[in-house]
Chain A
């Protein structure tokens, strides 16, 4: 009896486990398929996000993972051409690329080639295409009388609303120039804290005054209606520098000449925003249910966000009202051969739906990609060897096992730069003295960036010779482009100077053998960081080793991110590591990081090293307003020379993005400036389905073995017991 009992218990648990497993798999689909059955074979792209986007309001968003979603929904007037390099602008909703007219201080027109000093204002006249319509959205829904259905929600109406999809009616309307004006006004809104408000006050005429007015109105409204977020109709308050001309035209006036301004127009900050949306979302009941403009965007783009559960997944779906756009007809040389023009002239977008799943841990993400459940993956340094190998020339290619799976590799040098900054206000490493300069130069030689790239980035990066990455005007390849204070040009490639050179510089600086000649004390330097995560320890050990090479002791001051930022802001950090990602493809966007008036300390700018060289500052001001050309190049080269000599940064590297994609994913070309590239992509669901089946056959044998082993362990005991019981029964019978 006991035998049957134990078997029953064991059998029951293992049977249910198996039974349930089989139940899910009875249709022959892979057991580990994480997606619902009904989505098999659909035209859906699967991607991931590791951290929920904080803001999806285009006036606040300034982070790439937010742009990845936003850019598919909101449409600024211009965009970057998908295929052409160097990066150039193309129209999106505008009829033409905006060109500035120049005015003098008396508002009188000036000829286009006039000297910069005379230009007081630049005016951009922008015209948008007619007939563009917003995505279906409850904010636009009107009842039979033409009143907005959902702008005065009652408690009763609200009680059945949990997400945006619960509204029965939706509406739409045509995109007008006023929507663009409205959005620019929102940059100044005190409730919204736009990150570029500070920068834009320097350019857009009247923005600061506008913000002050808004601030007052906002404060007043808060007193008037204390229990709800105040709504201000921005249409009623005029902003001096931005005017609606007519239904399809508007005008922006900026101070002086700022050729890079047109690049800002391609960013979501300058996308259109319908006033209805803001009014709709500010209703108190909706805010409580987390239905806000910051979470559910309203746009005219090819996709709309239909599900936003930041705890689980976000879903983009094709916008049925999309105005239609065609795949570019022409590209760079080689694009046709690469199959990138196969869809030329076809209507966008190709993919019906995009599902972004929350994926916090790297290992599950990578494995799901390999199993075919994600269509594209960037690769971390640790899963690298599996995927990539280098050819004799140092060219990255895929390993055979990857190629067998039909996986493709995409590489692109990113428009960002990593560097080690010295705090130039520090007594030891900072300042303009020859002593400190030599110390900095010595350190720049000692930190072996090549080794860093090979160990920590697995070769995914290029040692930086200056702050300007390849692909941006001002970057020079070859011997002319090297940093002569750190590298020699040997055999046709840059070679890091020797440690002996670094030691010599250190000795000249008065720290022979790592000791201060005057005091005899060992030289202690501090590295400030807020590195969390698994790689931190290895990296910090490595960095200490770099300094030890020239007998300098490096003390790591690891703290949390806030504290670290505060240190940099207050100028109490000594050496730190930082990176910058370009806003737009112009050298000004990198060199301004070292412009004196942008100092972090006091001015709270982006110049974390607090570098302030009069020569550099003067050249920067000159370079800033110039058009790209030989003259600008000459000035940039002069600036680079100043930087390399002063060495306020140790230029680390320009990261290279490596990403992998499966054979069923097409029209992929890296474009680091454009974020709205989803509409160009195409997938083949049939092929994907087939591969998933092929790659994910369940392996059952080990489980069976485990069960059998467990049973075998119990069996002898059970047998003994039965014998004993039998025996005692017999005895009692006797």
Chain B
């Protein structure tokens, strides 16, 4: 087991190098160091001299990937790419281009992201499973059919509509909660209700549908039929056998997204002024802050890979028949 995990972790390294290279090429193709300097020095009265100074200050005055003028190993190491990438692997993200420590910012901003994403996931899971059970319970009745159609309808509505509509109704018309904002500690609660509700409603369509399929698949299995034939009531069958067995695919499906919860949601955070990592990323894109974007891409990739490994492990834990190769 341990050996497997270590092997998977080692396997992640070339992937992360690849990720780094791709983002590096993409961003520097668009964004020369000169551009970055001007972006950060402001609009009024900027001289080329100031730009050069800025670049030198931050180590952007070197060649990109290959240094012709240096010798030996330095041809590769004395470059922007090497300098800016190697430190990532030690989670030393350095400074953003406006001089703030990125690791510190990330460590502060991931909690609000998590505060939105985790309740959304848990409440969503609860609601979706409940509804899916309901549909499975009433399968092939009008409730099931209406439920499925309603699910498709909910799925077909743009997520932006949920947000705009939700803010408009709940906050503007009904004064139920603050329209946007965030606070630390217990005060955060009232700000979280609306985004969480909207997140849950937005996910009901696809979630319920997906879990319903899982339940139905389980219900049609032989052992369920047998236990029903033995005279167990439908409800008992549903809870004792179907739910228990269906939890395996459900939970393993959830495991993969858990690490990514830290990253947060771009659109939700922007609309609700949540100071999480999602809005951090959007800001960075808009300000073309390469250091932050690179750090976020790296972080996202790491979390994604962790999610994959966790999924594999959780499979073996819940189902001993699967052995890790």
Binding site for B on A (CB under 8 A): 1-2, 5-6, 9, 13, 17, 20-21, 24, 30-34, 36, 52, 54-55, 62-63, 190-191, 193, 195-199, 287-290, 292, 294-295, 309, 311-312, 357-361, 363-364, 367-368, 371, 373, 560-563, 565-566, 604, 606, 696-700, 702-703, 713-714, 717, 720-721, 725, 732
Contact = CB atoms under 8 A, between A and B. Distances in A.
Given A311-B109, A363-B167, A720-B141, A36 B183 contact: yes
A24 B138 CA distance: 37
Interface in B277-314: 279-280, 283, 288
A439 B7 CA distance: 71
A195 B283 CA distance: 23
Contacts of B104: 288-290
A3 B6 CA distance: 51
B176 A32 contact: yes
B321 interface: no
Contacts of A190: 53, 57
A6 B235 CA distance: 11
Contacts of A566: 35
A63 B38 contact: no
A476 B175 CA distance: 50
B179 interface: yes
| B interface: dominant SS | helix
Interface in B31-58: 31, 35, 38-50, 53-54, 57
B105 interface: yes
A699 B170 CA distance: 9
A32 B138 contact: no
A290 B101 contact: yes
A24 B190 contact: yes
Contacts, number: 170
B181 A34 contact: yes
Interface residues of B, number: 73
A364 B273 contact: yes
Contacts of A20: 189, 193
Given A32-B178, A199-B45, A309-B275, 10 more contacts: A2-B235, A9-B130, A21-B177, A34-B178, A54-B98, A360-B273, A368-B178, A560-B30, A561-B39, A732-B231
Contact of A32 (B45, B108, B112, B177): B177
Interface string B249-275: 000000000000000000000111101
Contact of A361 (B233, B234, B271): B271
Contacts of A17: 193, 197
B191 interface: yes
Nearest to B180: A364
Given A198-B47, A363-B167, A717-B143, A292 B191 contact: no
Given A54-B98, A311-B275, A360-B273, A367 B189 contact: no
B275 A312 contact: yes
Q: Pick the most buried of A287, A290, A373: most chain B CB atoms within 10 A of its CB.
A: A290
Interface of B: 30-31, 35, 38-50, 53-54, 57, 98-101, 104-105, 108-109, 112, 126-127, 130, 134, 137-138, 141-143, 146, 167, 169, 171-184, 187, 189-191, 193, 197, 231, 233-235, 270-273, 275, 279-280, 283, 288
B42 A62 contact: yes
A62 B45 contact: yes
Contacts of B38: 562, 565
Contact of A360 (B47, B108, B279): B279
A368 B180 CA distance: 9
20 contacts: A2-B235, A5-B235, A24-B190, A32-B171, A36-B183, A52-B283, A62-B42, A193-B54, A195-B44, A198-B49, A199-B45, A290-B100, A290-B105, A360-B273, A361-B180, A364-B272, A604-B47, A699-B173, A699-B176, A713-B146
B141 A717 contact: yes
B123 to A, nearest CB: 8
B88 to A, nearest CB: 16
A696 B104 CA distance: 38
Contacts of B127: 13
Contacts of A563: 35
Given A34-B181, A698-B174, A717-B143, A193 B235 contact: no
Given A36-B187, A364-B167, A63 B42 contact: yes
Contacts of B109: 311
Contacts of A312: 182-184, 275
B118 to A, nearest CB: 16
Contacts of B141: 717, 720
A702 B101 contact: no
A395 to B, nearest CB: 30
Given A290-B100, A290-B105, A31 B138 contact: no
A716 to B, nearest CB: 8
Given A193-B50, A312-B275, A367 B134 contact: no
A27 to B, nearest CB: 13
A24 B189 contact: yes
Contacts of B182: 312
A21 B101 CA distance: 38
B72 to A, nearest CB: 21
Contacts of B178: 32-34, 368, 373
Contacts of A560: 30, 288
Contacts of B184: 312
Nearest to A36: B187
Contacts of A311: 105, 108-109, 112, 275, 279-280
B179 A195 contact: no
Q: Which A-B residue pairs are the 8 nearest by beta carbons? A: A311-B275, A364-B180, A34-B178, A562-B35, A699-B174, A717-B143, A364-B179, A312-B275
Contacts of B181: 34, 357, 359, 364
A198 B101 contact: no
A193 B42 CA distance: 10
Given A36-B187, A311-B280, A367 B172 contact: yes
Contacts of B191: 34
Contacts of B57: 190-191
A63 B53 CA distance: 21
Contacts of B54: 193
Contacts of A5: 235
A193 B41 contact: yes
A606 B288 contact: no
Contact of A359 (B43, B44, B180, B193): B180
Contact of B275 (A63, A288, A358): A358
Nearest to A52: B283
B134 A714 contact: yes
Given A31-B176, A361-B271, A604-B47, A725 B41 contact: no
A195 B171 contact: no
Contacts of A30: 175
A306 to B, nearest CB: 15
Contacts of A31: 175-177, 190
B53 to A, nearest CB: 6
Nearest to B143: A717
Q: Pick the most buried of B44, B146, B183, B283: most chain A CB atoms within 10 A of its CB.
A: B44
Contacts of B41: 193, 195
Contact of A696 (B48, B175, B233): B175
B189 to A, nearest CB: 7
Contacts of B39: 561-562
A565 B51 CA distance: 14
Contacts of B180: 359, 361, 364, 368
Contacts of A199: 45
B46 to A, nearest CB: 7
A562 B50 CA distance: 16
A361 to B, nearest CB: 6
Contacts of A63: 42
A193 B179 contact: no
B45 A287 contact: no
B283 to A, nearest CB: 8
A295 B53 CA distance: 21
Given A32-B177, A367-B179, A6 B42 contact: no
